[in-house]
Amino acid sequence: MNMNESVLEQIHSPADLKTMTDEQLIRLCGELRSYLVTHVTQTGGHLASNLGVVELTVALHQVFDTPTDHLIFDVGHQCYVHKLLTGRRDRFDSIRAPGGLSGFTKRSESSYDPFGAGHSSTSVSAALGFAEADKLTGSDAYTVAVVGDGAFTGGLVHEALNNIDRTLPLLIILNENEMSISPTRGRFAEHLAKLRRSPRYHKTKKATRRLIRRIPLVGEPMFRGIRGVKQAAKNFFFKSNYFEDMGLYYLGPVDGNDFVAVRDMLREARSERQATILHIKTVKGKGYLPAETLPHEYHGILPGNKAPAYNFSAEMGKLLCQRAETDDRLCAITAAMAEGCGIANFAKQYPDRFFDVGIAEEHALVFAAGLAAEGMHPVFTVYSTFLQRGYDNLIHDIALQDLPVTVCIDRAGLAAGDGPTHHGIFDVAFLGQIPNVPLWAPADFNSLARALTDSLDSGHPACVRYPNAAPSPADDIFPYGEYPFRRDRENIADSDCVIVTYGRIYDEAVKARNLLSEEKITCTVILLEQLLPVAAPADALASLLTDPSTPILVLEEGIKAGGLGMLLREALSERGVLNPLRIVAIENPFAASEKSRSLRATMGIDAEAIVKQAHCLTRKACTPEPDIQ
């Protein structure tokens, strides 16, 4: 390779790394870091975590033979360097854009991405599946899982560790950077800190290993058979090691930003061909001072490195702080998302009533149930996509016992940058199946405050959902009627069509109304801010719809199957309201975004899609579908 050229520009696949010198590889790490800072600050995306794993990713692709060997990232957002080294550099500027590269690993994108990971703590289970499958099929491939220390706060990792066969060629890299998104919390993090503070541990381990292997007549063939002797001696001096107690071979800790040290340790781990934990220590944001100093602010950044707008999350955090001033039983809970959910200030003002449980949504919900059972007022703030993990706990531990837990569902709606793993489009459908759990969908800050107050004062379980956005002036657009059922026209008797919607997608309904108005089709938009129990919006609509021929369009930024539209159709029918009804909602929730099209257009829920369906109903220009009654 020409040393006068950029090393990165000479990399077309991981095979190009195999013949490079250490000097070239270290140069490559510097170029990758500069490339990330230059490009991600413009395109937006996950910056700090990727800066931290540059040396590790280069070393992994040099030591292992990907894609034959399986490389799994947890969480997948730390895969940017991996993408640059596996033939995707020419498309990197499209990352997280419609029709572009995913911000996570994605099986359909590359053979180098064996497993997609948008949620944390899944990699060890998946890696174990790969390793066992290779064993069953006779493959000698190695499986490597790169796991952030935050993922170890999730119970799924430990369930998988408990199930590992120690003879498998499986390497689990514990990447300790003391951050998940918020700083890592919990006993496991404390245990890692103890290991890190004991440099004697690793030195003694190596010395003990050399000593045992030199014993005459025993040697290398007997080494594994007498490992218990070493374990007993180590425990005598240094107490227990969590991983070795589970039967796993442990290496480290090692400086994860020292390329040669990481590469040498990976070679040693690979030579063992047994289930191994390699513990590395990296600096999140390495090489870019702003990200090193404030890694949580550079976890995910907007295009052009713009500052985020004041949004529903920030307002919810403000409201919780205000409520806590007069309600000394109010507690706020997060699953490692204090900044993302807007409650970092609550943590500072009321540290005794703030609980970060780590990446453990199931535990967060049951913990909240316990607090509520003992008279506290717990509020769990969580992204919609992560709430899915706690569905059983919502049903069994909260709703069934009628415990007053308030769940604030952040990031409700489509996630344009993060894609299908982060779309908050299932919550209305799955919450709609749980009895007696009200669901509020405030459209502006005033409604958010009322929804939170109603939820906390109810004495029962309740949920409040809101988007990752700043609000538009809903009061100006929907001035008629009373919260939580508002509309844009006072008298709807002369409407040719009624659009019923909720959430931030009401802007598409308003656009469609304006387009239809140009065609002399009068349309009323009804905004629902209470969705469940479905009897509430059904009763409101039944009182408004006096003409049985007025067609209804239900617009949702959520899935169609089991969503509010389907629930409303049944509830209206029970009330004798048999108006023609069609649902405009997401029918293919896993659809990939398309280049040069908005995500709403791809999903078929934009203004044009609404107009098309309105034509069907008002002009009877198409064959009625089963959704029309």
* Paired tokens of 309: 């707008």
Query: What would the two tokens of residue 434 be?
Result: 């749980």
144: left (phi over 0), alpha (psi -120 to 50) or beta: beta
CA–CA dist 499, 443 (Å, integer): 16
Residue 361 known to be catalytic: yes
CA distance 323 to 379: 11
Query: Quick one: tokens of 406?
Result: 């308030």
Report the distance separating Cα 408 and Cα 387, nearest Å: 10
- DSSP class of residue 460 equals S
Which one from 176, 361, 362, 508 is the annotated catalytic residue? Answer: 361
Question: Is 389 one of the catalytic residues?
Answer: yes
Catalytic residue, candidates 33, 83, 88, 284: 284
Buried b (16+ CB within 10 A) or exposed e, 555-584: bbbbbbeebbbbbbbebbeeeebebbbbbb
Facing residues of 440 across strands?
464, 530
* Long-range contact set of residues 265-271: C-beta below 8 Å, sequence gap at least 24: 266/59, 266/60, 266/63, 266/64, 266/171, 267/63, 269/171, 270/63, 270/64, 270/142, 270/171
> Which residue matches tokens 């997609």?
116
Our answer to whether residue 284 is catalytic in this structure is yes
Is 259:59 a contact under the CB 8 Å cutoff?
yes
What is the 3-state secondary structure of 205-268? HHHHHHHHHCCCCCCHHHCHHHHHHHHHHHHHHHCCCHHHHCCCEEEEEEECCCHHHHHHHHHH
Give the residue numbers annotated as catalytic, written as ranges.
Answer: 284, 361, 389
